[in-house]
Amino acid sequence: MRIVLVMSIGHTLLGLLESGPCHGYDLKRSFDERFGRDRALAYGQVYSTMSRLLKNGLVEIDGLESGGGPERKRYAITDAGVTDVEQWLGRPETPEPYLQSTLYTKVVLALLTGRDAADILDTQRAEHLTMMRELTRRKIDGDLGDRLICDHALFHLEADLRWLELTAARLGELTLEIRK
Amino acid sequence: MTDSLLSGHDLHKTYGSTPALAGAEFTIRSGEVVAIMGPSGSGKSTLLHCLAGIVRPDSGTIRYDGRDLTAMSDGGRSALRRSDFGFVFQFGQLVPELTCLENVALPLRLNAVKRKEAEARGLEWMERLEVADLARKRPGEISGGQGQRIAVARALVIRPRVVFADEPTGALDSLNGERVMQLLIGAARSTDAAIVLVTHEARIAAYSDREIVVRDGRSRDMARAA
Amino acid sequence: MNVLRDLRMGAGFAVTGGREGWIRTLLTAIGVGLGVALLLLTTAIPGALSARDERGRDRNEQRGQAAQAGDHTLLIAHADTTYKGDEIRGRLLRAEAPKAPIPPGLAKIPLPGEMVVSPALADLLDSSRGRLLRERLPYRTVGTIGDKGLIGPDELAFYAGNDTVTTGDRWSSVLRITAFGSPFPADPMDPRLVLLVVVMFVVLLMPVAVLIATAVRFGGERRDRRLAALRLVGADARTTRWIAAGEALAGSLFGLLFGLGFFLIGRQLTGVASAFDLSIFPADLDPSVPLAVLVALAVPFAAVAVTLFALRAVVIEPLGVVRAGTPPRRRVWWRLLLPVAGMVALYPLIRQGSESGQFNRGQVVLGVVLLLLGVTAMLPWLVEAVVARLGAGRVPWQLAVRRLQLGSTSAARAVNGIAVAVAGAIALQMLFLGIENDYTKETGADTTRAQLAVSSDAQVGTEGIARIAGQIRETKGVRSVFGRSGTRIAEPGEDSGPGASLTIGTCDTLRELARIEGCADGDTFIVDPRTSNSVGGMQPAPGKNVVIDPGQGPRTSAAPTPWLIPKAARTVPGRADGSGIAPDGVLATPGAVPAAVTRQLPYSMTVALDPAVPDAIDLARNAMARVDPLAQVYTLNETRESRRFANVRTALFIGSTVVLLMIGASLLVTMLEQLRERRKLLSVLVAFGTRRSTLSWSILYQTAIPVVLGLFLAAGTGVALGAALLGMVQRPFGVDWTGLASMTGIGAGVVLLVTALSLPPLWRMMRPDGLRTE
């Protein structure tokens, strides 16, 4: 089971740099620590992102160390970079309304083909609750960060579930509508 | 299921002319947490009341620990509720004139435990539920979340084998609701008590091991539906 | 004008406030109604008693109206009797002319052998209980006596027609009258009785005031929440108060109507209820108009005042009700001030009351009111102080004590009425006991020696007495009969002086009156003056010349006869007979006195009965009625109570019982309201497996604790007040323990009753239905 964090990696790295210059490797570690959870950031992705930021003038090279290991650049955020982070944080995310849901499609198809739509809903409901149980368990055992992330997912799942319940209660009405 | 602690079979109950239960099934094992979900008016609370021996179903059988609950007298069921069952409700359950500690100790005292000992044991449970500092306060002086924790402590103080929780977080915000559920589940697990949890909130039901859905007085075991 | 608008709005709420509002208004109306009914009853009682007195006087017959038979004269003879402890007023009537007066309540004089009876007597005669009485009254019933001729609906009375009675002279027990009714005004009441009545009214009316004050606060908590909702939509604090007052006003106005209804119904019931031996005609209970108007004005005014006063300590905020902070600790000093002030007001009156002394009624009322108000002021403090110190015991006790600790005011308020009533009643009982000796006379009768005393004007002579005694003696259940006749002896001559008594009877009879060794007919004895309680008078001696002068004696007018006290007369120590009369003067056997004398004398008898024979008394009375219908037969008692005093005492018992029952009703309403509010909690407790008995006991304790404290305080105050009242009538201090016990017993009974009546609804609410939220 994965929780996919949908986020802008460029803005996140910039934001992490704002607390002080640091090396690419440290940036990756710090990102993984806070937001990695299920999937660590690939090292290559850090470098490609940093070079894009460098090109856009949002970061600058603060120092260069060589010898021992790989080349180590120290990055620092520029004023333009700080402005960019500020703008990103201040901009609301567009709510995603999921207007075309697979579940809805399944229910309609079941009704059209004369299958038991209630069964489909209940099966889905059980599946949702199973995942919610899993998340709840992780939430109980995890730290505050885990809890916030799990709750985010739980609330979304709960919203689905409430939709499932509501739809179950409206199946009769829906059948009439569809078979008109 | 052979190892079930409490089970109900083909339960029917009608209030006036409104059928509340029409053939409901239920079973729970020791230490298990089972959620009863369903729309309002579907009969979930009635199912809980029947299972707890508060209400006698019109027909059907309820077995608890090898005994037939439906055949027991009112007094016998009361005694059973005193000794084996714990209860948490949505609200209005603490005796307003007793202190919180006295409220928690009340079930023990109804079981003829001496006041000193009852209150000592009550205080232990209040500590476990992190509300020991409210011992001398009265229910009117504490918040809703604190009140529910007191109620949980009171439900668990007799170390019941089954805890019946009817919308225990219904009157609480998410944060307090979650906290109360964690404490309830944690404490019940530690004593191997089973929990019958009536709720309409999926997030609360997610604390259970299993759920059944009641619709129009009929139950549906979702573990089997999946 | 705003106030009027708010009042009207509140009144509107009282009527249109949905089911809950209606119930509240109804409860208030019932409570106020009961109070009003009691007030009306109280204002009507003096009128009722005087109406009763008046009818009693109107049917009295007055001696000395006519000496000779005329065309308006009626002969009337007393034939009162007692049957199974109930007194029966009997009169024999013989019209001497067609225009003879007719007694009130009768259409005409019954013919000989016929009688007209009161409805109560008719019922008694028809019942199996009246079997023996039918033998005693061998007349045909031809009608009933109208209400005009009776003092109460339960009075037993008859008028029988007769053609044999004759009147001998002006002292005869048979009277010749030309009209019924007494021309004299009624005796004024003794100031001590006035004191009793005044205190009684105060004592009965104060709990009624408490009751009304409690009634207008029924359901106050719920109303406060409703007022909070009004504040939310913009009413200010002052407005809400007046709205509340308007609600109370409406409730009290309904209460007035209810009260009138209760009163009219209750009035009918008084006609039937004879449980207290005081029967009053419904029509006599007619409240005096000014007092009724006063009640009609005072009650709504009080309702508004009480509501505003009660809301003084309550702040109704838009989001809820706040009791003004933590209520200030109840202070005791000003509460103590009231009873102290009461004692100060009563103190100067102590030792004032004498037989003729009058009391300053205003001062008495003020003192008593202050003392009793002291109870109402002390009780909340006392309940709070004591309850705060009570420990938690068993679960029911703990529940009750904690509940009282959280709010004892409403409980104390409800109990106040009981406490005041009991305190007052205890004080009155003490006063009764203190002056009882004045009104209850020691008769000196020795009821082990005789149970009946007979006295008759019939002049039957020695043989007649022996015959009558013999006939009575043969009656079943009679052990012994001693008959005798008595008259006076005096110095011969014009100025005869005080004289002494002469008692004539057989040796057996005389032995009842003196310690006599040997006795035969013809013997005469002189009672040793040291053993008689007569003071002064003539001292008889053997061989002394005297006249036997029945004119000096009772009820005859025979001529004096000279008599020589035999020289052989012995002096013997006297002793009182069974009826308690100690002889003096001369005791003579019939042979020692000229027979012509004995034939002119009335006689008396004492009768001893066999206690093992049931109805022996009534059998003996029947026998006596057969032999000599005009003889008066008394049941011998060791004490005799003044009739009027007994009525006052009866009224007190009725009053305090009614008041306590009404307060019990208000306690019950409060308790039921509390239970209804806790329906949900009760269901939860049931879920926990709480036993019925646990909650039942808790309710008992919850009612009992304040009541016990109230009774305790009431006993203290009552004894103090009683002591003051006794001081006022100059009687020694003494606690009437039976009165104390009976009043506290009634109080405790009310607690039990309230608890018992609360249990069925409690059990109903303990059904799990209350848990249902769906």
Q: Return the partners of chain A (3 or more C-beta pairs < 8 Å).
A: B
Query: C-chain residues within 8 Å CB-CB of B96?
Result: 406, 681
Query: What are C460-469's contacts with CB under 8 Å, separation 24+?
Result: C460/C599, C460/C603, C461/C595, C461/C598, C461/C599, C462/C504, C462/C590, C462/C595, C462/C598, C462/C599, C464/C603, C465/C505, C465/C603, C465/C605, C466/C506, C468/C603, C468/C605, C468/C627, C468/C628, C469/C605
Q: Where are the domains of chain C?
A: 74-177, 329-442+644-664+689-774, 452-637
Q: Which secondary-structure segment (H or E) carries A61?
A: strand A59-65
- Structural domain that includes position A161: 102-178
Contacting subunits of B (3+ beta carbon pairs below 8 A): A, C
% of chain C surpassing 70 pLDDT: 78
Asked if the model's pLDDT at residue C270 lies above 80, the reply is no
Closest chain B residue by Cα to residue C408:
B97
pLDDT of residue A5: 45
Across the interface, do C681 and B92 touch by the CB < 8 Å criterion?
A: yes
CATH, residue A77: 1.10.10.10
Split at pLDDT 50, 70, 90, the class of C24 is confident
Give the number of C-alpha atoms closer than 13 A to the C-alpha of residue B102, restricted to the C-beta side.
21
CB contact under 8 A, A125 and B222: yes
Q: Among all chains, which residue has been given the structure tokens 């053939």?
A: B23
For the stretch C673-684, pLDDT in tens is: 778 777 788 888
Q: What distance in Å separates residue C403's CA from the closest CA in chain B?
A: 5
Token pair in block for residue A13: 């790295």
Q: Is residue A28 part of a domain?
A: yes
Instruction: Tally B–C CB contacts below 8 A.
Output: 84
Identify the band that residue C324 occupies on the pLDDT scale cut at 50, 70 and 90: very low
Q: Is A157 on the interface with B (CB under 8 A)?
A: yes
CA B159, CA B157: separation in Å to the nearest integer?
5
A129, A136, A169 ranked by CB distance to B222: nearest: A129
How many CB atoms are closer than 10 A to CB C767? 14
Chain C CB contacts of B98 below 8 Å: 398-399, 402
Query: In the predicted model, is pLDDT for residue C124 greater than 70?
Result: yes
- CA of A25 to nearest chain B CA: how many angstroms apart? 37
- Partner-chain residue, chosen from B39, B202, B226, that has the shortest CB–CB distance to A161: B202
A contact test, residue of B34, B190, B222 with most A CBs within 10 A: B222
Please indicate whether residue B169 or residue C451 has the higher confidence score (pLDDT): B169
CB contact under 8 A, C402 and B98: yes
Question: B139 vs chain C: nearest CA distance in angstroms?
Answer: 12
Interchain pair B206, A132: CB under 8 A: yes
Compare all CA atoms of chain B with the CA of A134 and give the residue at the minimum distance: B206
Q: CB distance B206–A127 less than 8 Å? A: no
Cβ–Cβ contact C398 with B under 8 A:
yes
For B206, the closest of A126, A127, A136 (CB atoms) is: A136
Q: Is the predicted pLDDT of residue C217 greater than 70, yes or no?
A: no
Mean pLDDT, range C417-424, rounded to an integer? 79
| Whether C526 contacts C512, CB under 8 Å | no
Interface check for C688 against chain B (CB to CB < 8 A): the answer is yes
| Interchain CB distance below 8 Å, C689 and B79 | yes
Task: Assess if residue A1 is contained within a domain.
Answer: no
What's the ipTM? 0.87
Decide if A42 is inside a domain: yes
Q: Are residues A82 and A114 in the same domain?
A: no
Which of A122, A135, A162 is opposite residue B222, by nearest beta carbon?
A: A122
Residue B74 vs residues B69, B71, B217, C768: alpha-carbon distances, Å: 10, 9, 24, 12
At C41, is the pLDDT very low, low, confident or very high (cuts 50, 70, 90)?
A: confident
Residue C443 pLDDT > 60, yes or no? no
pLDDT higher than 60, residue A174: yes
The distance of C234 to chain B (nearest Cα, Å) reads 27
* Residue C61: band (very low, low, confident or very high) from pLDDT cuts 50, 70, 90: confident
- Domain assignment present for residue A131? The answer is yes
Angstroms from C398 CA to nearest CA on chain B: 8
The one-letter amino acid code at C271 reads G
Q: Is B121 exposed, middle or buried (0-12, 13-18, 19+ CB in 10 A)?
A: middle
Q: Given this model, what pLDDT does residue C704 score?
A: 85
Cβ B202–A123 below 8 Å, yes or no? Answer: no
Number of domains in chain A: 2
User: Using CA atoms, how far apart are residues C501 and C489, in angstroms rounded to an integer?
Assistant: 6
Residue A124 has pLDDT above 70, yes or no: yes
Which residues of chain A neighbour B203 with C-beta distances below 8 Å?
132, 136, 154-155, 158
| Closest to B29 in 3D by CA, of B176, B209, B185 | B209
Q: What whole-number distance in Å separates Cα of residue B63 and Cα of residue B42?
A: 23
Facing residue for A136 by CB, picked from B207, B225, B226: B207
User: Is residue C104's pLDDT more than 60?
Assistant: yes
Under an 8 A CB cutoff, do C772 and B15 touch? yes
Neighbouring subunits of C (3+ Cβ pairs under 8 A)? B
End position of a domain, from candidates A57, A90, A123: A90
Residues from B in contact with A at Cβ < 8 Å: 39, 174, 182, 201-203, 205-209, 211, 213, 220, 222-223, 225-226
Pairs of residues, one from chain A and one from chain B, whose beta carbons lie less than 8 Å apart = 47
How does C745-764 read in b/e, with b if 16+ C-beta sit within 10 Å?
A: ebbeebbebbbebbeeebee
What's the CA gap between B4 and B66, in Å, rounded? 9
The pLDDT mean for chain C works out to 77
From A56's Cα to the closest Cα of chain B, the distance in A is 43
With touching defined as 3 or more inter-chain CB pairs under 8 Å, the answer for chains C and A is no
Q: Which of B95, B138, B167 sits opposite C399 (nearest CB)?
A: B95
Q: Do C689 and B78 touch (CB under 8 A)?
A: yes
Phi and psi, residue C70, nearest 5°: -135, -170
Nearest CA in chain A to B175: A151
Per residue in C645-700, pLDDT (tens digit) is 566 566 667 667 766 776 777 777 777 777 877 778 888 888 888 888 888 898 88
Flag whether pLDDT at C558 surpasses 60: no
pLDDT averaged over 10-residue windows placed end to end, chain B, 226 residues:
82 86 91 90 88 90 91 88 90 81 90 89 92 89 89 92 91 86 89 92 91 86 62
pLDDT digits (tens, 9 = 90+) for C160-213: 988 877 776 545 667 788 888 776 666 665 666 666 667 767 776 777 777 677
Q: Which of A126, A132, A140 sits opposite B225 (nearest CB)?
A: A126
| Residue at a domain's end among A66, A90, A114 | A90
pLDDT tens for each residue of C370-411 = 888 888 788 888 888 888 888 767 888 888 888 888 776 767
Verify whether the Cβ–Cβ distance B97 to C399 is below 8 Å. Answer: yes
* Pair (A64, A114) in one structural domain: no
Q: Are residues A14 and A51 in the same domain?
A: yes
The answer to whether the CB atoms of A122 and B225 lie below 8 A apart is yes
CA nearest C691 in B: which residue? B78
What is the tens place of the pLDDT at every residue in A33-89?
877 766 677 888 888 888 888 898 888 888 776 655 556 788 888 988 888 888 888
With a CB cutoff of 8 Å and minimum separation 6, the contacts of A147 are A139
- Residues A128 and A156 both lie in one domain: yes
Rounded-to-integer distance, Cα B43 and Cα B27, Å: 16
Per-residue pLDDT for C522 more than 70?
yes
pLDDT of residue A99: 59
Domain boundary among A44, A66, A90: A90
Residue A4 lies in a domain: no
Which residue of chain B has the CA closest to C403?
Answer: B97
**Burial class, C440, CB count within 10 angstroms (exposed 0-12 / middle 13-18 / buried 19+):** middle
CATH topology of domain B4-221: Rossmann fold (3.40.50)
Assigned domain for A23 exists: yes
CA atoms C682, C683, C687, C689: torsion sign: positive
Contact by Cβ (8 Å): C291, C331: no
Substitution target from A125, A128, A130, A139 for chain B, most B beta carbons within 10 A:
A125
